[in-house]
Amino acid sequence: MSLSPIDLALFASRMDAICEEMGVVLRQAAFSPNIRDRLDFSCAIFDPSGQLAAQAAHIPVHLGSMAFAMASIVSSLEWADGDMLVLNDPYLGGTHLPDVTLVAPLFVDAHLTAFVVNRAHHADIGASSPGSMPISRSLYDEGLIIPPSRLLRKGCLVDRKLDDILAATRNPQDARGDFLAQISANRAGVARLGQLAEGMGRAPLEAALGDLNAYGERLARAAMADIPKGLYRFEDVMDDDGQGACGIPIRVAMRVSESGVHLDFSGTASQVQGNINCPLAVTAAAVLYVFRCLMPPQTPACAGSFRPITLEAPLGCLVNACRPAAVAAGNVETSMRLVDVVMGALAQAIPERMPAASCGSMSNVAMGCVTPGAAWDYYETIGGGMGAGATGGGWSGVQTHMTNTLNTPIEVLEARLPLRVEHYGLREGSGGPGIRAGGEGILRELRFLGPAEATLLTERRRSRPWGSAGGEPGAGGLNRLNGAEIPAKTRLSLNPGDLLTIATPGGGGWGASGTPRS
């Protein structure tokens, strides 16, 4: 028997609340600023077949990729109550190596009923460069690769598994705290979901999950029906791969039909030597994110909501790379360009609803020191300008699209690390002009108080975030060391007193210039 509309809304809210509570537990128990302060983590619930059932409003690139890949992960093992799986392999359900995923099953009346999952970004996963976001040429350069493996068996830590992971890090005590926080978050999720199942009964819970997916699919198809039928194409470029290749194209052909929307990335560049390659799960995350933005706010974050959307990409291309292609920046930078490409195609179909391109880069800065006894690691993404739209947008100094993190408070950063933040503010004049101007980027200056190494993985330093409906592009980004311009993707050796400046891109403007802004 199907749930009534009111009961279905209550059920969806309870599922979302469980994911939110998992996130609170993870944040409060974590040790690292990356998880505790920047909130670089995500939590979700999946049905017993690995189909997405609910997720908190955390990190889009985490959640979309989990939704795409979880079915193959959970079907590969025999599960027992109290088990917990750990993985980070981008070619077996992960995104890039710093994002470590833990999966725990829920059993009700001895039946596998659901899974709870969290994914968190670890600033140190064993790469040679601090921050574990290196200028890499192979996956094997990027740190410890964890295939899907049991971390807990029937509630107990698997002998030495966690110790083996921690041994790859430079600060194992902090890393241990973060892993235990992830375990605690999943245990909280299993407990809360178990209480829900106990109150409803196992069979009604499973039926409710089916109702939720059917409801999500109805809302998604209604949203897709508003897009005019036809074929729409768009192309944009990645600035470079950090290994000499420049102007690397990403192309999409989007066909809208009665059956749904299909996106074909044929014509996209082949995978490259640098680390901007994507596993297909990351590409799916970007595609699903864009279309989720077109759906009504009440649309549940479940597998049914994504059934009308399909995609394909040639094996071995930039957005469907093959092992062992390097992928550290694909998850954070190429995913952002994929959003621009899909939104560019949609702008041809529904121009009044699609904004201009946003900053198009997470402007990643990984840094630290490898000296024994004084080792530290830190990683952050820096916001930029949001693209303007017909009715709004153009916000300044914000995280956009595939990232949804906070910044680390300056007080925390300076208290924990040998750094001083000398400037942090909006980058005036970086937003693209238009009837509605694009948002301003950020200007951030870091003074190093001790020797350190840093890696920059940034984009939109050559290309600029495009404007829409006659609006002008936003300003490209700029990186400097002691006043001298440095490459978009580079590894630096830093001395005490060095000043690193990151100027992030502005958003594109919307509407032809010269008309007063409303």
Kindly give the interhelix angle for 172-200 and 202-224, rounded to the nearest 10 degrees. 100
Q: Considering the domain boundaries, does residue 22 fall inside one?
A: yes
For residues 204 and 352, give the distance between their C-alpha atoms in angstroms, rounded to a whole number: 42
368: its two tokens: 């630290």
Q: Considering the domain boundaries, does residue 497 fall inside one?
A: yes
Q: Considering the domain boundaries, does residue 206 fall inside one?
A: yes
Question: What's the confidence (pLDDT) of residue 2?
Answer: 80
Instruction: Identify the domain containing residue 435 by its residue range.
Output: 355-518
pLDDT over 90 for what percent of the chain? 89
For 153, counting Cβ atoms within 10 Å of its Cβ (0-12 exposed, 13-18 middle, 19+ buried), the class is middle
pLDDT over 70 for what percent of the chain? 99
For residue 498, pLDDT beyond 90: yes
Question: What's the confidence (pLDDT) of residue 65?
Answer: 79
Q: In which residue are the tokens 């968190």 written?
A: 120
Question: What's the confidence (pLDDT) of residue 514?
Answer: 61
Q: Considering the domain boundaries, does residue 305 fall inside one?
A: no
- Mean predicted confidence (pLDDT) in 66-92: 90
84: its two tokens: 């917990």
CB-based contacts of 228, cutoff 8 Å, min separation 6: 256, 349, 350
Question: What's the confidence (pLDDT) of residue 516?
Answer: 47
Q: Considering the domain boundaries, does residue 242 fall inside one?
A: no
Q: Considering the domain boundaries, does residue 153 fall inside one?
A: yes
For residues 449 and 447, give the distance between their C-alpha atoms in angstroms, rounded to a whole number: 6
- Mean predicted confidence (pLDDT) in 111-124: 95
Rg (CA), the chain: 22
For residues 53 and 43, give the distance between their C-alpha atoms in angstroms, rounded to a whole number: 11
* pLDDT tens-digit readout, 152-200: 999 999 989 999 999 999 999 999 999 999 999 999 999 999 999 999 9
Q: Considering the domain boundaries, does residue 460 fall inside one?
A: yes
Instruction: Single out the residue in 169, 189, 218 at which a domain terminates.
Output: 218
C-alpha closest to that of 503 among 483, 482, 484, 476 = 476
Least confident of 44-58, 123-137, 216-230, 436-450: 44-58
For residue 208, pLDDT beyond 90: yes
Cα dihedral 90→92→93→96 (10° resolution)? -10
Question: What's the confidence (pLDDT) of residue 60?
Answer: 80
C-alpha closest to that of 357 among 365, 345, 375 = 345
Cα dihedral sign for 134, 136, 141, 142? positive
Question: What's the confidence (pLDDT) of residue 131?
Answer: 94
Question: What's the confidence (pLDDT) of residue 71?
Answer: 86
Same domain, 62 and 210: yes
Please check whether residue 250 is in contact with residue 237, taking contact to mean a CB–CB distance below 8 angstroms. Answer: yes
Same domain, 212 and 359: no
Instruction: Single out the residue in 176, 202, 218 at which a domain terminates.
Output: 218
Question: What's the confidence (pLDDT) of residue 518?
Answer: 38
The verdict on pTM exceeding 0.75 is: yes
Please give the mean pLDDT across all residues of the chain: 94
Predicted confidence band of residue 1 (pLDDT cuts 50, 70, 90): low
Q: In which residue are the tokens 């897009």 written?
A: 227
For residues 365 and 353, give the distance between their C-alpha atoms in angstroms, rounded to a whole number: 33
222: its two tokens: 């209604």
Instruction: Single out the residue in 218, 242, 273 at which a domain terminates.
Output: 218
Q: Considering the domain boundaries, does residue 503 fall inside one?
A: yes
CB-based contacts of 280, cutoff 8 Å, min separation 6: 68, 313, 319, 320
- Mean predicted confidence (pLDDT) in 443-469: 97
Cα separations in angstroms, 116 against 9, 113, 200, 260 = 20, 10, 18, 29
| Total domains present in the chain | 2
Least confident of 73-77, 341-345, 491-495: 73-77
DSSP class per residue in 112-161: EEEEEEEEEE-S-SS-SSTTS----SSGGGSS----SEEEEETTEEPTTH
For residues 467 and 437, give the distance between their C-alpha atoms in angstroms, rounded to a whole number: 9
Predicted confidence band of residue 445 (pLDDT cuts 50, 70, 90): very high
**Within a 10 A sphere around the Cβ of 439, how many other Cβ atoms?**
33
Question: What's the confidence (pLDDT) of residue 361?
Answer: 98
For residues 462 and 10, give the distance between their C-alpha atoms in angstroms, rounded to a whole number: 48
C-alpha closest to that of 110 among 48, 159, 65 = 48
Angle at 374 between CA 368 and CA 380, to 5 degrees: 20
Predicted confidence band of residue 371 (pLDDT cuts 50, 70, 90): confident
* pLDDT tens-digit readout, 347-370: 999 999 999 999 999 999 999 998
Predicted confidence band of residue 396 (pLDDT cuts 50, 70, 90): very high
For residues 346 and 389, give the distance between their C-alpha atoms in angstroms, rounded to a whole number: 13
For residue 517, pLDDT beyond 50: no
Paired residues of 376 in beta bridges = 369
Predicted confidence band of residue 417 (pLDDT cuts 50, 70, 90): very high
> What is the SS3 assignment for 269-326?
CECCCCCCCCCHHHHHHHHHHHHHHHCCCCCCCCHHHHCCEEEECCCCECCECCCCCC
Instruction: State the DSSP code for 92.
Output: G
C-alpha closest to that of 369 among 242, 494, 229 = 494
For residues 385 and 262, give the distance between their C-alpha atoms in angstroms, rounded to a whole number: 29
Backbone angles phi, psi at 494, to 5 degrees: -115, 145
